[in-house]
């Protein structure tokens, strides 16, 4: 910050009390919205394109997904879609199948998810349900046909 910037802060009459406005970051917001027809798709796209700071809007009717790129806040995007279209909107709750360690664990697997996606699980208890303890693994592999040191009684 130079001397002129420092002096201009003292003699600036345009801003009363607020120093610098914090700029929003460019981000991508993905939403899950039920889109049935072309009319719904058009309505969602128009509602999102009219927002201040939006640079690009993509609506995928097949996967019920809308992607917004711009200088926006995710909560405001969800509220705008819900208000303007009357549709229930939420942040995209799915992650690719490959990212999750245990995709068939209860709470992660979702029948309604698009192909190749599972529900995002931030809860550590969900992962503990899917992971077997070391004693369980020992007992299950003790009687396995693939284990050469398995019990010979069988």
Residues 61, 79 within the same domain: yes
Structural domain range at position 74: 25-91
User: How confident is residue 141, by pLDDT bands cut at 50, 70 and 90?
Assistant: low
Give per-residue pLDDT as tens, 10-28: 665 555 555 556 677 889 9
Query: Is there a single domain that holds both residue 65 and residue 109?
Result: no
Do residues 62 and 110 share a domain? no
Same domain, 53 and 39: yes
Picking from 91, 106, 132, the residue at the C-terminal end of a domain is: 91
Q: Are residues 78 and 98 in the same domain?
A: no
CATH number at residue 47: 3.30.70.100
Q: Are residues 30 and 86 in the same domain?
A: yes
> What is the per-residue pLDDT across 60-115, written as a single tens digit (0 to 9) for each?
998 889 999 999 999 999 999 999 999 999 888 887 777 777 666 666 777 777 77
- Are the C-beta atoms of 29 and 89 separated by less than 8 Å? no
| Helical ranges in the chain per DSSP H | 3-11, 38-49, 74-85, 124-130, 134-142
- The total of structural domains in the chain comes to 2
Is the residue at 114 inside a domain?
A: yes
Q: Domain check: are 85 and 114 in the same one?
A: no
Distance separating alpha carbons of residues 8 and 11, to the nearest angstrom? 5
C-alpha–C-alpha distance, residues 103 and 109, integer Å = 6
Q: Do the domain assignments include residue 17?
A: no
Residues 85 and 103 in one domain: no
pLDDT beyond 50 at 129:
no
Q: Can you give 5-40 as a three-state secondary structure string?
A: HHHHHHHCCCCCCCCCCCCCCCEEEEEEECCCCHHH
State whether 70 and 32 are in the same domain. Answer: yes
């Amino acid at each position: 910050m130079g001397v002129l910037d420092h002096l201009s802060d003292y003699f600036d009459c345009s801003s009363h009390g607020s120093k610098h406005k914090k700029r929003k970051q460019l981000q991508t917001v993905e939403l899950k919205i039920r889109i049935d027809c072309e009319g719904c798709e058009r309505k969602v796209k128009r509602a999102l394109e009219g927002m201040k700071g939006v640079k690009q809007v993509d609506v995928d009717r097949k996967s019920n997904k809308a992607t917004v790129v711009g200088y926006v806040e995710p909560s405001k995007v969800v509220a705008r879609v819900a208000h303007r279209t009357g549709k229930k909107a939420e942040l995209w709750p799915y992650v690719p199948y490959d990212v999750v360690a245990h995709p068939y664990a209860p709470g992660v697997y979702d029948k309604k998810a698009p192909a190749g996606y599972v529900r995002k699980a931030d809860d550590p208890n969900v992962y503990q349900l899917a992971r077997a303890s070391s004693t369980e693994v020992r007992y299950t592999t003790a009687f396995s046909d693939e284990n050469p040191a398995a019990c010979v009684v069988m």
